[in-house]
Amino acid sequence: FAVMYTFGNVVSVLSTGFLIGFLSQLKKMFDPSRLVAALIFIGSMIATLVVAFTIHSFILTLICCIVQWLALFWYSASYIPFARDLIKKCLGGVM
């Protein structure tokens, strides 16, 4: 599951690059407002594949998938105006 999920995310990023242009996609991904989320997302995809193919640990793979999903969620929210602020307010009220 984790490998297919990660490849799905890679295809998703590549498809948006195909639609808007790969250079434009890279510029938007590494914009200062998205840099941390993009790096965590890319790092978690790499970590998921490394753990799934080499370590074969179910728990670590699951943790990597959860981090990957959270990073993708936060990265995607950066494209919606004020979405990150709304998420912070909602989670701030819960915690």
pLDDT, one tens digit per residue, over 21-48 is: 999 999 999 999 889 999 999 999 999 9
pLDDT tens digits, one per residue of 55-74: 999 999 999 999 999 999 99
Helix axes 35-50 and 58-77, enclosed angle (nearest 10): 160
- pTM, two decimals, is 0.85
The DSSP code for 34 is T
> Which residues in 22-42 are b (16+ Cβ under 10 Å) and which e?
eeebeebbeeeebeebbebbb
7: enclosing H helix or E strand: helix 2-20
In the structure, what pLDDT confidence band is assigned to residue 95 with cuts at 50, 70 and 90? low
